[in-house]
Structure 1
Amino acid sequence: MNAIDLPDHLDADHSLVLPTLLRDRARRQPDETFLHHTEGGSLTHGQLERRVRQWMSRLHQLKVGAGHRVMTLLPPSFDAVAMWLATARLGAVEMPVNTALRGEFLAHIMRDGEPQVVVVAPHHLCRLAELRSNVTIVVADSGIERIDEYDGPDYSPRPHDVSTMVYTSGTSGRSKGVVVPWGQQYATARWLMPMEGRERDVWYGPWAMFHVSGKVGLYSSALLNGQLVLRNGFSTSNFWQDVQRFSVTSTMIVASTVAFLDQAEPSPSDRDHSLRNVCAAPMPPDPAAFAHRFGIRLSTLFNMTETASPIVTGWDDFPARSCGRARPGIETRIVDEHGDDVPVGQIGELLLRSRAPHEIMAGYWRAPQATVDAWRDLWFHTGDAVRQDADGDFYFIDRLKDTIRRGGENISSAELEAVVNGHPAVCESAAVGIPTPWNDRDVKLFVVPMPGFDAGDLAAYLDERLPRFMRPSVISVLDVLPKTHTARVKKSELRALNDEPVWTRPDRRSP
């Protein structure tokens, strides 16, 4: 099938469910290369299929079957790909976890998800040892290559089956598991960026596979009968070298990586590469100049873990700062706090729904009230503030939630504050995001102190307990936190507060 002829929705062709698609591809073209890793090695379709069946055999030995959860702590790797496919073909559900998590953050997900098995990279094993859990742990190393291939029942997932369960931070309480059907995975990849001119793509994927951003490159490469280049994390200094080394044609750049590339010193070789197609979220400040400098075409979109690329652009020709228009099959509304539609041009919350089944999350795992709240009035509430112009173009304004997005990661301020408040010299705290020069957010922490408080001591305390992306860059002290009559912290006032911090992380770059 020509990539441009791909159906709009997965229910039109079940052979395009990713595990089935790649299994069939291995039968038809076993010797064609599909995966590369920047640290070395490649896999053909046939070699990937062998690794998938070896993982199926290993999981089957551990009694993994239909409906079981398999938790993974894996970097972008061949095993991360094979594990996802193997789990699905046993009828089980992959539960990928952010590899930066530790302590109570990790323990919460294990308690909530109740995995049958945990598959972990060797260098993350110590984090599980801290938890003293009774769950069976499998270390992903070279030993899998010595296991015989699985020869039992091989399940072909359908669009409504669960493809993965991704834990994402909310505005209050603990992180929730987003239940993502295969129909949603397909639509995310199908509509992420225009398909035109991308047959036999070579996609550059430095993004973690416990996020949609990492998985979408894999699915997109499979749909386009192309190749995927994996890297364990984005590196500005290695980006163009990797593009040249693997003849990369397409990629997605997100969060601060857009600014890192844009702010790099211009070079005569800026156009001397194979890259042609870039999805940028957010867009560079001057998209036309960025596209001209690097000789590429640009697109962008609005998306979240719970949705499937519902608002997208074409190549290049769209209004500045727009995130696009609703793609085929998507209905939208913009409403005020009472759920009433706002006039064209005014800001409100974006609501979505799809005319096709299984294109928006199936719900939050074991969180029925949160699921009902998200789907109230039979529309999915994004929690994001947008406006729409008379031509139908959408403009993202800000998150209505208190979530802080930093380096591509969503940070739950409630979870962060709970750790801060555990310090013996902290009475109360509030975390907000503050802008940086590279179009990202830093974490600013406001603390109501108790006797004996020392900001440096608090920073050291948090560094021992928080993943790197959650650690505050700035700490300020207040006598009281500004609050509403219902005792909610007025974080808008905190964001606007131009105070003198008592502590700033030494390596933080100032605006």
Structure 2
Amino acid sequence: MPDHRAVPARADCVLRALVDRHAAEMPDKPFVVLQDGGRLTYGALRDEVRSAARGLQDLGVSQGDPVLVWLPNGIDGLRLWFAINYIGAVYVPINTAYRGGILEHVVRNSGAKLMIAHGGLVERLAGTDTAALETLVVLHGSPAPVGGLAVLPAERLVGAGDVLPLERPIEPWDTQSIIYTSGTTGPSKGVLSSYAHLFAMGNALIADGEGVPFLGRDDCFMVNLPMFHVGGTAPSYAMLVKGGAIALLEAFDTASFWTTVKETGTTSVILLGVMATFLVKQPAIPGERETPLKHVIIIPLTAEGVAFRERFGTDTHTLFNMSEVSCPLIAELNPAVVATCGRPRKGVEVRLVDAHDCAVAPGEIGELIIRTDSPWALNHGYNGDAAATARAWRNGWFHTGDAFRIDGAGNYFFVDRFKDSIRRRGENVSSFEVEMEVCSHAAIREAAAVAVPSQFGEDDILVAVSLVEAQSFDPAELLAFLTPRMAHFMVPRYIRVVDELPKTPTRKVEKYLIRQQGVTEDTWDREAAGIVVKREKLTS
């Protein structure tokens, strides 16, 4: 068992050491498995990474320099991430959906002089203030002039000769990456992550709350979440640490999911948001339990997530994580309590506090704050934003900005982002809990609950929903479904059907847009329909 109070050794957590060791010990073992049947062994990975690393050095990249990578999931993106870290530079991925102001903000905030981008994205840089950026290397496309940048072909990333010596050894506490948050309420923040932080996150992702791993060298983790997100980087790093494999996909696809699991030998996967719901709501197919998939990490744990195990015969896991932390809450194997995030894992201390960092009373909702036994197991700030860093890291704890509650058994439950809280009829309502119940209806694919102004003060509740394909839908029927399942003050007044919920480039719902639109002409109003939901009267 690892000592959770110590910083991991270089040989155990620094990417360069891991790549070199695995290539020496098992050069013919696959690290990457592709949908088309392609394989990349540890030996070949090291050769490609070292070639690209020398190419980066020839372009002037030095240890500690940030390098922007604007590529979709694939071998190129993985190879360049590893090459950047191999020479001790800082990997700074950009969401492939970014454009306009958010793209300009990330480029400027990163301070990078070099960007590596897919040819299909480069035109978005036109008219953008690229700040310190000097050089652009284009993959999968012909280089074309972009402002005052030196635009180079992909061949420049193939170095001739061995990797040049580093100024000093790469340390566990060195900055490994800058991952940008979604920025739903303001500019995206660049999370500073060390090798020790990513190591802690990856290890916790594939282990129980005591730190005992459920995956190892013989496993293959399907990576269908983007590499510009910890959902893609953490499992990739976890399997690198273990000497296992990843099945690298560009994105999640419901229709091809089970075929891909079988063809790639996938034994584990993260199902984020509604992915598990999509799969559970698909018609049954022959042999759907006869796959190599053994472990599924479902975040958040919905009713469909609980049903996933019974239908598909896998073990299920759930946890709470964000870019800044390292899976501080982990549930027991095969959790049955819907919406639980689990309990603090070994080596992590958490508290629920009020606005002044004082602990809330048992049963009350408070902000989750975190600290760890091991140095560097959490983020070390926000890039170029000292004020945001100070706000998050006050009084010696990292403040998540998330509201949680704890039950009598010690299970933690995510309630809401504080900015999304709803106050109705003197009660605090969790938009997350409303959405969980709404999504239990067979016709609902996704839901977002928001507060809208009430004529009586405080809030009324509006739920925007998108529908499962080919499902009929009656708002009054949904209301009848919800009324016995939730407290009367949680039952929505307004229901609005949309084709798709608005989302950030990292696929988080932009609730502020739904709030801004408010009660539109096509919104159904239960009070206008003559439906009244009242508190149940009890007799003594």
TM-score normalised by structure 2 residue count: 0.74
- In the TM superposition, residue 473 of structure 1 has moved relative to its aligned partner by 10
In the superposition, relative to structure 1, how do residues 296 and 362 fare at CA in structure 2: closer, same or farther (>3 Å)? same
CA distance in 1, matches of 2:240, 2:64: 25
Counterparts of 1:96-495 in structure 2 under 5 Å?
96-131=93-128, 133=130, 135-141=134-140, 143=155, 147-154=159-166, 156-170=169-183, 172-194=185-207, 195-199=212-216, 200-317=218-335, 319-402=337-420, 435=435, 437=439, 440-441=446-447
Aligned residue in 2 for 1:79? 76
CA distance in 2, matches of 1:445, 1:232: 35
CA distance in 1, matches of 2:325, 2:506: 27
**1:293-324 deviations in whole A, cap 9, x for unaligned?**
10001110011111011111231146442111
The 3-state SS of whatever aligns with 2:303 is coil
Would the aligned equivalents of 1:51 and 1:145 in 2 still touch at CA under 8 Å?
no
Would the aligned equivalents of 2:192 and 2:383 in 1 still touch at CA under 8 Å?
yes
> May I ask how many residue pairs the two structures share in their alignment?
438
- In the TM superposition, residue 468 of structure 1 has moved relative to its aligned partner by 9.6
CA distance in 1, matches of 2:306, 2:509: 35
Give the residue type in structure 1 aligned to 2:38: G
Higher alpha-carbon Rg: 2
CA distance in 1, matches of 2:448, 2:306: 28
Comparing 218-227 with 237-246, which one deviates more in the overlay? 218-227
Q: Give 2:63's match in structure 1, choosing from 52, 63, 66.
A: 66
In the superposition, relative to structure 1, how do residues 29 and 10 fare at CA in structure 2: closer, same or farther (>3 Å)? farther
- In the TM superposition, residue 292 of structure 1 has moved relative to its aligned partner by 1.3
The 3-state SS of whatever aligns with 1:376 is coil
Would the aligned equivalents of 2:173 and 2:195 in 1 still touch at CA under 8 Å?
yes
Would the aligned equivalents of 2:37 and 2:264 in 1 still touch at CA under 8 Å?
no
- In the TM superposition, residue 441 of structure 1 has moved relative to its aligned partner by 4.8
The 3-state SS of whatever aligns with 1:401 is helix
In the superposition, relative to structure 1, how do residues 97 and 323 fare at CA in structure 2: closer, same or farther (>3 Å)? same
Comparing 281-290 with 143-152, which one deviates more in the overlay? 143-152
Aligned residue in 2 for 1:453? none
The 3-state SS of whatever aligns with 1:265 is coil
The 3-state SS of whatever aligns with 2:24 is helix
Would the aligned equivalents of 1:69 and 1:113 in 2 still touch at CA under 8 Å?
yes
In the superposition, relative to structure 1, how do residues 132 and 14 fare at CA in structure 2: closer, same or farther (>3 Å)? closer
Would the aligned equivalents of 2:309 and 2:315 in 1 still touch at CA under 8 Å?
yes
CA distance in 2, matches of 1:135, 1:443: 44
In the superposition, relative to structure 1, how do residues 386 and 445 fare at CA in structure 2: closer, same or farther (>3 Å)? closer
Aligned residue in 2 for 1:413? none
CA distance in 2, matches of 1:373, 1:8: 26
- Are residue 90 (structure 1) and residue 87 (structure 2) matched? yes
- Are residue 500 (structure 1) and residue 499 (structure 2) matched? no
Would the aligned equivalents of 1:244 and 1:274 in 2 still touch at CA under 8 Å?
yes
Would the aligned equivalents of 1:387 and 1:395 in 2 still touch at CA under 8 Å?
yes
- In the TM superposition, residue 156 of structure 1 has moved relative to its aligned partner by 4.6
In the superposition, relative to structure 1, how do residues 318 and 16 fare at CA in structure 2: closer, same or farther (>3 Å)? farther
Give the residue type in structure 1 aligned to 2:48: R
Aligned residue in 1 for 2:474? none
Aligned residue in 1 for 2:12? 16
CA distance in 2, matches of 1:503, 1:286: 27
Would the aligned equivalents of 1:306 and 1:360 in 2 still touch at CA under 8 Å?
yes
- In the TM superposition, residue 180 of structure 1 has moved relative to its aligned partner by 0.7
Aligned residue in 1 for 2:54? 57
CA distance in 2, matches of 1:369, 1:80: 32
Structure 1: gaps spanning 5 or more residues: 404-431, 447-464, 477-490, 505-511
- In the TM superposition, residue 82 of structure 1 has moved relative to its aligned partner by 1.8
CA distance in 1, matches of 2:129, 2:353: 47
Would the aligned equivalents of 1:8 and 1:187 in 2 still touch at CA under 8 Å?
no
In the superposition, relative to structure 1, how do residues 10 and 235 fare at CA in structure 2: closer, same or farther (>3 Å)? farther
Give the residue type in structure 2 aligned to 1:15: A
Comparing 207-216 with 121-130, which one deviates more in the overlay? 121-130
CA distance in 2, matches of 1:323, 1:358: 23
Counterparts of 1:21-60 in structure 2 under 5 Å?
21-39=18-36, 41-60=38-57
CA distance in 2, matches of 1:444, 1:317: 28
The 3-state SS of whatever aligns with 1:187 is helix
**1:2-60 deviations in whole A, cap 9, x for unaligned?**
xxx55546724321123311221112211211112224522111111111111111111
CA RMSD of aligned residues (A): 3.2
- In the TM superposition, residue 290 of structure 1 has moved relative to its aligned partner by 1.7
Comparing 142-151 with 12-21, which one deviates more in the overlay? 142-151
The 3-state SS of whatever aligns with 2:395 is helix
- In the TM superposition, residue 445 of structure 1 has moved relative to its aligned partner by 12
The 3-state SS of whatever aligns with 1:315 is coil
CA distance in 2, matches of 1:286, 1:177: 33
In the superposition, relative to structure 1, how do residues 93 and 296 fare at CA in structure 2: closer, same or farther (>3 Å)? same
Give the residue type in structure 2 aligned to 1:182: Y
